[in-house]
Structure 1
Amino acid sequence: MAVDPRQIVAAFLTFSMFALLANMIKEDHFTPTNNVKLPGPPDVQYEKITIPEPRFATLPKESTGPWAEDDVQVEPCWTRPAPKEVEQSGFVTFSLTHGPEYHISQIADAVVVARYLGATLVLPDIRGTKPGDKRDFDEVYNVEKFVKSLDGVIKVTKDQPAEVAAGKIAVVRVPNRVTEDHISEHIEPVLRMKGNLRLVTYFPSVNMRKAEEKKDVDSVACLAMFSALQLEPELQEVVDLMVERLRTLSRKSGGKFIAVDLRVDVLEKKACQGRTDSGRKSCFNAQEVGVFLRKIGFQEDTTIYLTQSSWHFSLDALKEIFPKTYTKGNIIPIDQKQKFLSSGTVELEKILDFYICSQSDVFVPAISGLFYANVVGKRIASGRTQVLVPSEVSSSSASAADFISSYISKKNHLAHSCFC
């Protein structure tokens, strides 16, 4: 029986098409992207994630976007304070409260006060938002690193002295970024009279801009904020595993991902309603963040991490624009979920959020405040300066560079007085 040549050609074309399709699937799913590491050891398990299909069939390729390279690694500008020649007796105690964005400032103020007074700093405990919710310092932070970093600058004791525990201790309110004049006038007389102090830091305003003139206490504050305070190793490992998980999910963007500080409960508060004196919105919801990121050039397959504790229906608008949008529950190792997400406390969740936002390739503060300000400080210290502040974008040719945080573009953050 004669064979129609057209059938032979059709069969050849069909075979070629399937071969090409198989090659595309192989390239898309099994060829690793450069510089993207698998998250942690092989026995680490995560929640199963289904990667959403693109809306249009396209050849697999690495997506583009307004990603910026990290800055050259910065170096500390501060000079390590010399040991004090004269030291007073007495102890300074305090607690860390409200979350990691407050801890950094509270640590800096306590170290500055103890240094000025020549007193011994008692290692703080960590208080949660609920009564009786208390943790030891070493459950969150690296004690040995803290003590070693401050060696020769101040004395630190890990245990509360008996005379402090037994006696009634004087409580002194301290404004954030306390000055030497304030210590001399309002705190030193109390120490001389009472012998021991308990500090409570308050925040008259969120002021993280660097001072016009450098002062002696600046080097002490820099040391406390950016060298002494580090996560304890096991907690740091969980953060690292989550970051690596996000990078693996971001294969098409070279392992780069965006972290967005967006918490629905905060958006609903009065402070997030209305506008600032300059007419700018104070906070941005999920849809507004999604539209902003799309307009400045991020592609729909961009991976986004949200600080929101668990999924909320209002986040669906962002997921419509960027399908690869995740919260902690999606990316935390399964064996860590109970400890971090089901313990009834938000303090550990805040720790994860703060340090993931500090390590992401891009940080977007949908909410202004101390979390934003102190995350920026950590990012400046590590050279990660792509911080994009949301805005209502009207221009079709908007550039991500137009929305860089003024902390970065004007180099007016406190951290710029600590790093060169």
Structure 2
Amino acid sequence: MRRQGLQQRQHAKPAGGGGGGLKGMIGRLLIAVVVVLICTISLVVTSTSNGGARSGSRSKMILDELWRSADSVGWRPSSAPRSDWPPPPSETNGYLRVRCNGGLNQQRTAICNAVLAARIMNATLVLPELDANSFWHDDSGFRGIYDVEHFMKSLRYDVKIVEKIPEIYKNGKTKKIKAVQLRPPRDAPITWYTTDALVKMKEHGAIYLTPFSHRLAEEIDNPEYQRLRCRVNYHALRFKTNIMKLSQSIVDKLRAQGHFMSIHLRFEMDMLAFAGCFDIFNPKEQEILKKYRTENFAPKKLIYKERRAIGKCPLTPEEVGLILRAMGFNNSTRIYLAAGDLFGGERFMKPFRALFPHLENHSSVDPSDELAENTQGLLGSAVDYMVCLLSDIFMPTYDGPSNFANNLLGHRLYYGFRTTIRPDRKALAPIFIDREKGWTAGFEEAVRQAMFKTNLGGPHKRIPPESFYTNSWPECFCQTSPQNLAHKCPSDNVLEILDSS
């Protein structure tokens, strides 16, 4: 009886506890779901947190890379001749005078072309004239800006150079050689110099080429001629000692607090008028820009919205600041500004200064009277050039047409592949236009993506319209890698001997 009763209770227990078991199972499932949800949320939060840390770490890593020079991939600068390059003969075909017009860097390009033209014609080059008065309103001249003795010594294996055309003694009388004036075609081919110009030189004994800016084709199918341009630009053309010392003093003061970048802020009247970017200015300012354009540039119908949409307008100071912030630079970044008078004044600079308060120029770094006296006209441009050349990072805000920015890009590439940040204005334009319309979602990421697709200073193929003076790779470089014999570095580098002397 007890066994039967026990069995009945044992059989009845499962039947009577079925509902309770189901409820227990459901409860346990609910608890499991809650646990899973909690774990998932925790995982997401942790992942986001770690992702943010990785993002911040990645951003810092990228900035650390930018403050250093770009990877050279085994290349180093070398503009020494690679083939037979005889010194200039004692007897030449005559004298070559040139008048270099434009700003400091347009003149610099003209000087390089003048040396090459003299070599092509087997001519004696008269020290180039700098047309300083019309552009800078000063009369510094070649000797006031460059180290003349170094210039002549550096090029002694390439061309004969004299400071002026000497007088000749004939039939008992002293006579001056009068140079016949010629106007070279723009981007003239080598054949123009070996025919038209040379005929006149032999006939008169001397020729005077004026104006002389962009008067020799840049793309020449002769690497030795291109290397001569580099010897002039990066070795022979050295600023005078006072300019070099002043520039180094500014750099030392800037670098005393760490890294610094330089920016060529091309938000100036001439460039804005050239680009036809008027609409962001008030009516009075627009009138000034339109008048300047009418007086200085050929007539052309320019529609602001169309120009802006394809990146033809110079970046505003605020846009420059937003680009830098999107790339990860913070408000402690020290920035040296190389610029003329910014059009529109302080109202355009204020947003930039709010983002990056440590903005400097040569006057603010050293407000001494000595500096003020030595940074006017061509001298001021020379100081800005050297500070930008020596900065850790250089950023041009408008590199076409801008001889200052373009020449600096080439110079920094030549001397160690120094980092340059070149905003892709065409890619950035729609991003900034959307921002102005209030569409700000993903703005910084879009800017960052556009910026890190650009070349940051390493070796890259020159594709027209990029200038030879902006990128002389590979003509003026050689390979240290034994695997790349096609571009092997010359064993006897005359330029290194000259530079060390």
The TM tier, using the shorter chain, reads 0.7 to 0.9
1:150: Cα distance to partner?
0.8
1:133-181 CA-partner distances (Å, limit 9, x unpaired): 3224222111121011111311111244246995542222345765422
CA contact (8 A) 1:266 1:272 kept: no
1:361-383 CA-partner distances (Å, limit 9, x unpaired): 21111122222211111111112
Taking structure 1 as reference, are residues 178 and 220 closer, same or farther at Cα in structure 2, changes over 3 Å only?
Answer: farther
Instruction: Give the aligned residue type for 1:93.
Output: R
Instruction: Give the aligned residue type for 1:182.
Output: W
Select between 154-163 and 99-108 the one with higher mean Cα deviation: 154-163
Taking structure 1 as reference, are residues 86 and 347 closer, same or farther at Cα in structure 2, changes over 3 Å only?
Answer: closer
Taking structure 1 as reference, are residues 136 and 348 closer, same or farther at Cα in structure 2, changes over 3 Å only?
Answer: same
Computed over aligned residues only, the root mean square deviation of the Cα atoms, in angstroms, reads 3.3
Alignment partner of 2:194 out of 184, 187, 212: 184
Provide the residue aligned with 1:242 in structure 2.
Answer: 250
Alignment of 1:13-412 (within 5 A): 65=63, 67-71=66-70, 72=72, 74-79=76-81, 81-85=85-89, 87-130=91-134, 133-162=138-167, 166=176, 168-174=178-184, 179-200=189-210, 201-203=212-214, 213-248=221-256, 251=257, 254-271=258-275, 273=277, 274=304, 279-309=310-340, 312-313=345-346, 314-332=348-366, 334-341=368-375, 345-368=376-399, 369=401, 370-390=403-423, 391=425, 392=428, 394=443, 396=445, 398-399=448-449, 400-404=451-455, 409-412=460-463
Given the two structures, how large is their TM-score scaled by the length of structure 1?
A: 0.73
The 1-side partners of 2:108 and 2:62 are apart by 35
CA contact (8 A) 2:96 2:126 kept: yes
Taking structure 1 as reference, are residues 267 and 124 closer, same or farther at Cα in structure 2, changes over 3 Å only?
Answer: closer
CA contact (8 A) 1:63 1:299 kept: no
The 2-side partners of 1:63 and 1:237 are apart by 34
Matched-pair identity in %: 21
**In the alignment, structure 1 residue 418 sits paired with structure 2 residue 476:** yes
SS at match of 1:202: coil
SS at match of 1:318: helix
1:404: Cα distance to partner?
2.8
Q: Which has the higher contact order (CA 8 A, sep 6+)?
A: 1
CA contact (8 A) 1:124 1:137 kept: yes
The 2-side partners of 1:176 and 1:373 are apart by 19
1:98: Cα distance to partner?
2.3
The 1-side partners of 2:186 and 2:234 are apart by 16
Answer with 1 or 2: which has the greater Rg.
Answer: 2
1:171-222 CA-partner distances (Å, limit 9, x unpaired): 22345765422211331112122210112323389x86x66x4444223222
Taking structure 1 as reference, are residues 278 and 129 closer, same or farther at Cα in structure 2, changes over 3 Å only?
Answer: farther
1:264: Cα distance to partner?
2.6
The 2-side partners of 1:225 and 1:276 are apart by 34
Taking structure 1 as reference, are residues 156 and 385 closer, same or farther at Cα in structure 2, changes over 3 Å only?
Answer: same
Unaligned runs of 5+ in 1: 1-61
SS at match of 1:376: helix
CA contact (8 A) 1:247 1:257 kept: no
Select between 83-92 and 225-234 the one with higher mean Cα deviation: 83-92
SS at match of 2:419: coil
1:231: Cα distance to partner?
0.7
Taking structure 1 as reference, are residues 145 and 406 closer, same or farther at Cα in structure 2, changes over 3 Å only?
Answer: closer
The 1-side partners of 2:203 and 2:196 are apart by 12
1:322: Cα distance to partner?
0.4
CA contact (8 A) 1:361 1:384 kept: no
Unaligned runs of 5+ in 2: 1-59, 169-173, 278-303, 432-442, 479-501
The 2-side partners of 1:409 and 1:92 are apart by 35
The 2-side partners of 1:305 and 1:107 are apart by 28
